[in-house]
């Protein structure tokens, strides 16, 4: 078994030797940083917008490019956080709190260097965890029968409010809305059309990528248009090489802080529905809770511990979030939901069995994370302050460019103009959801999980000959999943 | 050519341009939408083929039909000197792709790799706007016979023993790859043949879940095809038998006829899943030279070593390749249509 996975790792490494693949990593990280450094451009959006561009390429360079861009974008979200107190993405909100204070003290270059170092190291560590853990989990995932897949889908929907601190009702309502959308199309058991209103294209349902583009991209553009100018003032950043040396020393002298953030990021990332946006808050709070009283009071006033807490966790989510995405076909975050779409566009079927079918590519993908995160250091250390300038691009250029790319992305899913109406519809819905504080990831997960949950329920029920005891308590996996569902609901209720 | 079809063609062009141009050339790709790029279609004076040929695959990427198609088009490209673009339109149990083909112009630039009896099921059991006569059939590709599998360590070794076991148990659970198709029909025919057995039929929705349910013992038996099941798993599950008169080479298992189960319908004819190349109806009449070019070049593929070795790499697909010319293909399509219609009442059971 170990030998087999070592062989697969080697064949994955062989894929990486292709110059085109290496170029894909180098370009991907660079493009990801550029996109991520623009406030409002999340990693999710970066993947969505870049996916159609990868369609003409082979799966290996295409997916590795996207994964690299994902890592670059998560890292770069912290650049505008530090420089102008505006997070580039929800995963970098806490970085503002201490990062910007440090910038005000004239330590911008030092802070940016610390951010690049911890992002890079955390990304690499999480990738190594993924490399060794994912095959074990993938093997375990093969034990998941239909009824376990159903329960896991329910767990994925109930954990969102617990993880995000959102309202239970709103998260579940959003999830149920997604499930409802997922019922459109031929029903999986009998192939009879449901809710298609006579449109043939709807027989294959509403594609979740279309929903994702609407909710995560178009809605954000509406909001950007509403907010208007991103940032106005332009401050000069001064720094020197010695600040970068100090940055290395700062990280090296705080290994516990770094490892804690990295572990929190990997764990939170691996939960379905929770990504960098959740991890950086959890990590920051834990860092403060662990600190002695004197240090705890200084959080938010510009201490490097705050930056380390935020940035070590957000890049580690990438490795974690890929675990359920690759092994169960259930995305760990909005970004991996977008990646899931890209994976199936390139002809791979995520879910149990992916490691069997496409071992070399999956390992190449994981190994590319290591190289990609090293490149974050290469690009980030010298370049961060220049990438910071991207925050000043006026919305009048951003919005039309992004909307055009979204239209191409929405069209590319299945060559259908019909889907563009859905992009618009979900864009408007997204604005409503954000205004009324419905977590956006809930409806998207609902759409993705609808098919999994329905097939799991129906076939599981039939296989157990309609016996509910056998269905819910037939295996220890089912019982553990039921306990997890209960736990996430209880946590949400108690937390109020 | 109707304006409706023009715009559909435009959309295809749009994607092609949009994707190639990527983010960089947005202005350029929008231009191409405005212009329309199909001025050259319908011009019978030009040499065929002078543009890309789209191959519709009514299933997702990575599935059996997709893999068979992608193993075929490189060789076809060389022979016909054309560029083939494989496009996947999954959904509606092949009806989404089927309607796409039905709506396409019969100009030799759109064809499909379809499979039967799923193809027939879309117009017999679903509400597809087309039927058998709306298409031209260029030739078959391969026949994957219907085969029964059982979990490892089951107390039965072949289909005859399984039927005996079902008799004793009263009811057994049987998984199929789809609700309507060769696997479900095989199960329904067997249940119908023997009055004293009862199947708890479960549509496991695809080859991969069927394999998994068989390996893990969630079902007492499952119905699939040997190539679709993936011959890498020979030895891991029990091959109960194939719904055919003769045994096949891909997976060591007896045929139903060998086991003396010839009272089950369709055993004499041999029953399985065909993949075949289909074109929009009217191609042969409107563009006979294009039709012939496609038919002849397609037949040639099966003689080419590079194709056969590529098929071999696809889990031994080379062993079940089965080319039939258009005439024989039409006969096979008719035969499958007839028995799907004949046994339609059985499907009410689902």
Across the range A374-381, mean pLDDT stands at 92
Q: How far apart (Å, rounded) are the C-alpha atoms in residues B69 and B64?
A: 9
Tell me, what's the ipTM? 0.72
Same domain, B181 and B253: yes
Same domain, B153 and B249: yes
Q: How far apart (Å, rounded) are the C-alpha atoms in residues A397 and A394?
A: 6
Q: How far apart (Å, rounded) are the C-alpha atoms in residues B131 and B278?
A: 12
Task: Using an 8 Å CB-CB cutoff, list chain B residues near A404.
Answer: 26, 30
Three-state secondary structure call for residue B110: strand
CA distance A379 to chain B (A): 22
Across the range B208-228, mean pLDDT stands at 91
Same domain, B202 and B251: yes
Least confident of A142-151, A162-171, A335-344, A469-478: A162-171
H or E stretch at A292: none
**Cis before B49 (ω within 30):** yes
pLDDT tens digit sequence for B189-205: 999 999 899 999 998 88
Which of A1-5, A62-66, A188-192, A222-226 has maximum average pLDDT?
Answer: A62-66
Task: Using an 8 Å CB-CB cutoff, list chain A residues near B209.
Answer: 146, 455, 459
Across the range A272-278, mean pLDDT stands at 79
pLDDT tens digit sequence for B316-344: 999 999 999 999 999 999 999 998 999 98
Q: Does the residue B12 lie in any domain? A: no
Q: Does the residue B337 lie in any domain? A: yes
Same domain, B152 and B248: yes
Residue with the larger pLDDT of the pair A193 and B137:
B137
User: What's the total number of domains in chain A?
Assistant: 1
Range of the domain at B202: 147-270
pLDDT above 80 for A27: yes
pLDDT above 70 for B288: yes
User: What's the total number of domains in chain B?
Assistant: 2
Q: How far apart (Å, rounded) are the C-alpha atoms in residues B113 and B97?
A: 10
Three-state secondary structure call for residue A495: helix
When pLDDT is cut at 50, 70 and 90, the band that residue B280 belongs to is very high
Q: How far apart (Å, rounded) are the C-alpha atoms in residues A319 and A12?
A: 16
Q: Do A348 and B61 touch (CB under 8 A)?
A: yes
What pLDDT, on a 0 to 100 scale, did the predictor assign at position A3? 67
Residue with the larger pLDDT of the pair B176 and A488:
B176
CATH at B290: 3.40.190.150
Give me Rg for the CA atoms of chain A.
22
Q: Do B26 and A401 touch (CB under 8 A)?
A: yes
What pLDDT, on a 0 to 100 scale, did the predictor assign at position A2? 63
Same domain, B262 and B123: no
The DSSP annotation for A96-124 comes to HHHHHHHHHTT-HHHHHHHHHHHHHHHHH
What pLDDT, on a 0 to 100 scale, did the predictor assign at position A231? 56
Q: Do A455 and B205 touch (CB under 8 A)?
A: yes
Q: Do A191 and B178 touch (CB under 8 A)?
A: yes
Q: Do A348 and B62 touch (CB under 8 A)?
A: yes
When pLDDT is cut at 50, 70 and 90, the band that residue A123 belongs to is very high
Same domain, B169 and B263: yes
Across the range A235-250, mean pLDDT stands at 78
pLDDT above 50 for A75: yes
Residue with the larger pLDDT of the pair A41 and B157:
B157
Same domain, B138 and B174: no
Q: Does the residue B41 lie in any domain? A: no
Q: Which of A224, A219, A319 is nearest to A279 (CA)?
A: A319
Least confident of A347-356, B208-217, B267-276: A347-356
Residue with the larger pLDDT of the pair B134 and A350:
B134
Same domain, B238 and B279: no
When pLDDT is cut at 50, 70 and 90, the band that residue B130 belongs to is very high
Q: Does the residue B91 lie in any domain? A: yes
- DSSP E strand boundaries for chain B: 53-57, 84-88, 110-116, 135-145, 147-150, 171-176, 198-203, 221-224, 238-242, 272-280
Range of the domain at A363: 2-495
What pLDDT, on a 0 to 100 scale, did the predictor assign at position A359? 85
Q: Do A412 and B19 touch (CB under 8 A)?
A: yes
Q: Does the residue B9 lie in any domain? A: no
Same domain, B259 and B156: yes
Task: Using an 8 Å CB-CB cutoff, list chain B residues near A192.
Answer: 126
Q: How far apart (Å, rounded) are the C-alpha atoms in residues A316 and A71?
A: 9
pLDDT tens digit sequence for B175-187: 999 888 899 999 9
> How many Cβ atoms are within 10 Å of A432's Cβ, its own excluded?
10
pLDDT above 70 for A361: yes
CA distance B82 to chain A (A): 18
Q: Does the residue B45 lie in any domain? A: no
Nearest CA in chain B to A456: B204
Task: Using an 8 Å CB-CB cutoff, list chain A residues near B201.
Answer: 462
CATH at B168: 3.40.190.10
Task: Using an 8 Å CB-CB cutoff, list chain A residues near B95.
Answer: 186, 200, 203
Residue with the larger pLDDT of the pair B136 and A45:
B136
Across the range A106-120, mean pLDDT stands at 91
Of chain B, the percentage scoring pLDDT greater than 70 comes to 86
Same domain, B233 and B155: yes
Same domain, B151 and B189: yes
Q: Which residue of A56, A185, A189 is in closest CB contact with B91?
A: A185
Task: Using an 8 Å CB-CB cutoff, list chain B residues near A417.
Answer: 11
> How many Cβ atoms are within 10 Å of B112's Cβ, its own excluded?
29
């Amino acid at each position: 078994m170990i030998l087999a996975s070592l062989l697969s790792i080697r064949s994955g490494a062989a894929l990486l030797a292709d110059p085109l693949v290496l170029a894909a990593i180098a370009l991907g990280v660079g493009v990801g940083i550029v996109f991520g450094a623009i406030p409002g451009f999340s990693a999710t959006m970066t993947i969505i917008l870049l996916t159609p561009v990868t369609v003409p390429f082979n799966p290996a360079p295409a997916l590795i490019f996207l994964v690299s861009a994902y890592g670059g974008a998560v890292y770069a979200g912290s650049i505008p956080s530090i420089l102008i107190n505006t997070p580039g993405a929800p995963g970098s909100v806490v970085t503002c709190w201490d990062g910007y204070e440090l910038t005000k003290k004239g330590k911008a270059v030092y802070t940016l260097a610390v951010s690049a170092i911890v992002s890079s190291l955390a990304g690499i560590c999480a990738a190594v965890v993924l490399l060794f853990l994912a095959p074990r989990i993938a093997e375990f995932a093969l034990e998941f029968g239909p009824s376990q897949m159903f329960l896991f889908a329910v767990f994925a929907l109930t954990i969102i409010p617990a993880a995000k601190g959102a309202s239970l009702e709103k998260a579940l309502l959003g999830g149920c809305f997604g499930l409802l959308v997922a019922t459109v199309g031929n029903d999986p058991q009998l192939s009879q059309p449901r809710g298609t209103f006579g449109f043939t294209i709807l027989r294959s349902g509403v594609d979740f990528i279309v929903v994702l583009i609407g909710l995560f991209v178009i809605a954000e553009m509406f909001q950007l248009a509403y907010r208007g100018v991103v940032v106005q003032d332009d401050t000069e950043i001064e720094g020197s090489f010695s600040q970068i040396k100090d940055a290395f020393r700062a990280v090296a002298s705080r290994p516990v802080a770094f490892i804690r953030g990295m572990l929190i990021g990997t764990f939170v990332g691996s939960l379905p529905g929770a990504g960098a946006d959740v991890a950086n808050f959890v990590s920051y709070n834990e860092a403060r809770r662990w600190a002695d009283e004197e240090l705890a009071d200084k959080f938010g006033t510009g201490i490097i511990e705050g930056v380390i807490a935020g940035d070590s966790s957000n890049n580690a989510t990438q490795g974690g979030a890929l675990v359920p995405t690759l092994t169960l076909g259930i995305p760990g975050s909005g970004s991996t939901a977008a990646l899931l779409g890209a994976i199936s566009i390139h002809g791979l079927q995520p879910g149990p069995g992916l490691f069997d079918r496409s071992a070399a590519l999956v390992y190449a993908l994981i190994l590319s994370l290591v190289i990609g995160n090293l490149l974050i250091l290469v690009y980030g250390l010298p370049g961060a302050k220049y990438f910071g300038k991207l925050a000043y691009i006026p919305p009048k250029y951003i919005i039309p460019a992004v909307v055009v790319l979204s239209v191409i992305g929405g069209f590319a899913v299945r060559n259908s103009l019909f889907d563009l109406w859905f992009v618009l519809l979900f864009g408007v819905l997204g604005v409503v959801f954000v205004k009324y504080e419905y977590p956006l990831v809930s409806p998207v997960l609902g759409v993705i999980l609808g098919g999994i949950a329905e097939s799991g329920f129906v076939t599981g029920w039939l296989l157990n000959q309609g016996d509910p005891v056998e269905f819910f308590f037939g295996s220890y996996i089912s019982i553990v999943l039921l306990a997890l569902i209960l736990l996430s609901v209880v946590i949400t209720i108690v937390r109020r | 050519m109707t304006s409706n079809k023009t715009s559909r063609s435009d959309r295809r062009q749009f994607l092609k341009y949009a994707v190639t141009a990527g983010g960089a050339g947005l202005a350029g790709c929008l231009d191409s939408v405005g212009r329309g790029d199909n001025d050259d279609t319908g011009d019978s004076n030009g040499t065929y083929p002078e543009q890309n040929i789209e191959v519709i695959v009514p299933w997702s990427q990575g599935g059996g039909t997709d893999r068979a198609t992608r193993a075929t088009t490189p060789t076809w490209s060389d022979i016909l000197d054309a560029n083939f673009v494989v496009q996947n339109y999954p959904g509606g149990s092949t009806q989404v792709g089927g309607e796409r083909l039905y709506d396409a112009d019969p100009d030799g630039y759109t064809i499909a790799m379809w499979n039967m009896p799923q193809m027939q099921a879309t117009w017999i059991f679903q509400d597809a706007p087309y039927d058998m006569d709306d298409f031209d059939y260029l030739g078959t590709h391969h026949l994957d016979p219907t085969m029964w599998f059982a979990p490892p360590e089951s107390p039965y070794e072949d289909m005859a023993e399984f039927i005996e076991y079902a008799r004793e148990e009263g009811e057994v659970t049987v998984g199929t790859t789809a609700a309507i198709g060769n696997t479900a029909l095989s199960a329904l025919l067997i249940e119908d043949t023997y009055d004293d057995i009862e199947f708890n039929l479960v549509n496991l929705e695809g080859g991969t879940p069927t394999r998994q349910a068989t390996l893990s013992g969630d079902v007492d038996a499952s119905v699939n095809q040997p190539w679709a099941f993936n011959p890498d798993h020979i030895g891991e599950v029990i091959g109960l038998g194939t719904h055919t008169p003769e045994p096949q080479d891909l997976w060591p298992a007896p045929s139903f006829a060998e086991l003396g189960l010839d009272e089950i319908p369709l055993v004499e004819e041999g029953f399985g899943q065909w993949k075949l190349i289909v074109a929009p109806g009217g191609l042969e009449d409107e563009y006979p030279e294009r039709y012939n070019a496609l038919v002849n070049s397609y037949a040639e593929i099966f003689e080419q070593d590079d194709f056969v070795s590529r098929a071999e790499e696809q889990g031994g697909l080379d062993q079940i390749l089965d080319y039939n010319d258009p005439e024989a293909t039409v006969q096979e399509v008719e035969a499958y249509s007839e028995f799907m219609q004949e046994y339609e009442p059985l499907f009410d059971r689902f």
